[in-house]
């Protein structure tokens, strides 16, 4: 059940806490300005222990196993965690970038146990394969907070709390928007390709499922192909180039499961001479995306991305709320979902309905972009 009040409260806290802490260049231009240690070789010390955000351990020591640095979303998520759990706020953050490999996350978690950290935060790359190492964490008596994607475990006492997004709802919202938009344009036949995220990641599972169910439910919709773009721009471009070779101008909708895949898909389509835009009736190709990062929203403003469903990465303050509650000896919610918006290039669709819930659709302007915390 969604904890609306709590999520709203956290979002409010979040806005105050992280406005100063946002930033970070877009992976779109290949830069990523968050220094990271990577399992299997710390940039600074050469050993494979996770990096400290500062000198010796002081205050509350937290081990954070991060998926990687694959996307703008991930950069914003890392920045949120690092700016929240800083030394001047009484924390030592031991950060590890697993380069999108589960074995590196397992290694980092075991290193955190050896270092006897007070809390472990895990952003799991995929949902399965965690039972053994999470049992080691539980046996060590270290509270574990799961952030962003979900873990599928035989016993949910293996983690203390989870905070993240409802990815199936994100997919449902995006497809409800697409249905309303296509109807508004009088277009019934949609031939869709799906550039999926990392296979087995909750975000991929939910967003893909949302699309698959919508294709099933809507006459005239065809899902031509699905392939993982691994949430990266380079792989997204490669997959789009392959889809163009196979389906060419049959494609009129590209469903990208994150912004960086969308950037790659747009490059591939444009290079192949296709018009990426917002008007199906003129034969333009619609590119849809998820995350609503700054670079993604800029592409919505220019009409390159027609609809962007938010996935809020600013989990630092939400995790801090959980840790503060645990420090105070209070109970914490087992699962907390984050409230998220949906954005579009135009105003043809101003609201959508998913099940019993309706959601406003925000038309992107520069002012909307400037007012966002990431």
Interacting residues toward ligand GZL by CB under 6 A: 70-71, 73-74, 148-149, 165, 201, 203, 231, 258, 290-291, 311
Q: Name the helix (H) or strand (E) containing 81.
A: helix 72-84
> Alpha-carbon distance 40 to 214, whole Å?
42
Half-sphere exposure of 99 (CA within 13 A, CB side): 10
Closer residue to ligand GZL, CB minimum distance, 94 or 149: 149
3-state helix, strand, coil in the chain (%, to 5): 40, 20, 40
Q: Give the nearer residue to ligand GZL in terms of CB position, either 207 or 304.
A: 207
Pair 334, 3: CB distance under 8 Å: no
Q: Closest distance between ligand GZL and the C-beta of residue 74, in Å? A: 5
> Smallest gap, in angstroms, from Cβ of residue 128 to ligand GZL?
15
Q: Toward ligand GZL, which CB reaches closer, 48 or 127?
A: 127
Instruction: Classify each residue of 84-108 as buried b or exposed e, where b means 16 or more C-beta atoms within 10 Å of its C-beta.
Output: bbbeeeebbbbbbbbbbebebbbbb
Contact 140, 117 (CB under 8 A): no
Q: Quote the least distance from Cβ 166 to ligand GZL, whole Å.
A: 10
**First and final CA of the chain: distance in angstroms?**
27
Can you tell me whether residue 247 is helix, strand or coil?
A: helix
Q: How far is the CB of 206 from ligand GZL (least distance, A)?
A: 9
Pick 94 or 315: Cβ nearer ligand GZL: 315
Does an H or E element contain 108, and which? helix 102-114
Give the residue among 309, 313, 291, 325 at the shortest CA–CA distance from 6: 325
Contacts of 76 (CB under 8 A, 6+ apart): 22, 24, 293, 313, 314, 374
Question: Quick one: 79 or 274, whose CB is closer to ligand GZL?
Answer: 79
| Burial class of residue 30 in the structure, from the number of CB atoms within 10 Å of its CB (0-12 exposed, 13-18 middle, 19+ buried) | exposed
Cβ-count burial of 155 within 10 angstroms (0-12 exposed, 13-18 middle, 19+ buried)?
exposed
Tokens read off for 355: 């099940």
Q: Please report how close the Cβ of residue 57 comes to ligand GZL at its closest, in angstroms.
A: 28
Least spacing, CB of residue 255 vs ligand GZL, in Å: 13
CB of 118 to ligand GZL, least distance (A): 25
Give 146 or 349: the residue with its C-beta nearer to ligand GZL: 146
CB of 318 to ligand GZL, least distance (A): 13
> With respect to ligand GZL, which residue has the nearer C-beta, 142 or 373?
373
Closest C-alpha among 144, 139, 97 to residue 120: 144
* Complex with ligand GZL: residue 118 or 235, whichever CB lies closer: 235
- The residues facing 253 across adjacent strands are 192, 286
CB of 55 to ligand GZL, least distance (A): 30
Please, which residue, 146 or 182, has the CB nearer to ligand GZL?
146
Report the relative pairing of strands 161-164 and 144-147 from DSSP bridges. parallel
Smaller CB separation from ligand GZL, 74 or 107: 74
**Using CA atoms, how far apart are residues 307 and 287, in angstroms rounded to an integer?**
7
């Amino acid at each position: 059940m969604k904890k609306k009040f709590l999520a709203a409260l956290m979002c409010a806290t979040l806005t105050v806490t992280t406005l100063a802490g946002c930033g970070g260049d877009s992976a779109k231009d290949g830069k990523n300005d968050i220094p990271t240690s990577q399992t299997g070789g710390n940039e600074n010390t050469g050993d494979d222990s996770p990096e400290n955000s500062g000198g010796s351990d002081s205050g509350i020591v937290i081990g954070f196993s991060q998926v990687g640095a694959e996307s703008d979303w991930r950069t914003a998520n890392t920045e949120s965690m690092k700016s929240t759990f800083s030394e001047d706020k009484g924390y030592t953050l031991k950060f590890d970038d697993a380069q999108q490999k589960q074995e590196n996350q397992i290694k980092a978690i075991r290193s955190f146990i050896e270092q006897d950290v007070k809390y472990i935060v895990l952003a799991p790359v995929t949902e399965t394969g965690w039972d053994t190492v999470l049992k080691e964490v539980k046996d060590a008596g270290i509270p574990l907070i799961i952030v962003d994607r979900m873990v599928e475990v035989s016993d949910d006492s293996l983690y203390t709390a989870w905070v993240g997004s409802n990815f199936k709802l994100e997919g449902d919202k995006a497809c409800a928007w697409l249905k309303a938009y296509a109807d508004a344009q009088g277009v019934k036949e949609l031939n869709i390709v799906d550039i999926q995220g990392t296979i087995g990641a909750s975000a991929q599972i939910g967003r893909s499922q949302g699309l698959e169910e919508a294709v099933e439910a809507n006459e005239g919709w065809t899902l031509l192909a699905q392939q993982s773009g691994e949430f990266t721009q380079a792989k997204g471009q490669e997959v789009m180039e392959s889809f163009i070779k196979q389906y060419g101008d049959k494609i009129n909708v590209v469903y990208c499961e994150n912004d960086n895949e969308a950037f790659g898909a747009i490059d591939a389509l444009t290079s192949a001479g296709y018009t990426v835009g917002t008007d199906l009736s003129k034969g333009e190709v619609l590119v849809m995306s998820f995350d609503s990062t700054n670079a993604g929203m800029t592409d919505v403003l220019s009409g390159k991305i027609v609809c962007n469903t938010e996935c809020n990465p600013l989990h630092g303050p939400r995790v801090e709320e959980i840790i503060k509650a645990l420090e105070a000896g209070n109970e914490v919610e087992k699962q907390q979902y984050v409230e998220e918006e949906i954005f579009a290039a135009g105003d043809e669709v101003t609201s959508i309905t998913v099940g019993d819930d309706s959601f406003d659709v925000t038309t992107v302007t520069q002012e909307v972009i400037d007012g966002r915390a990431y």
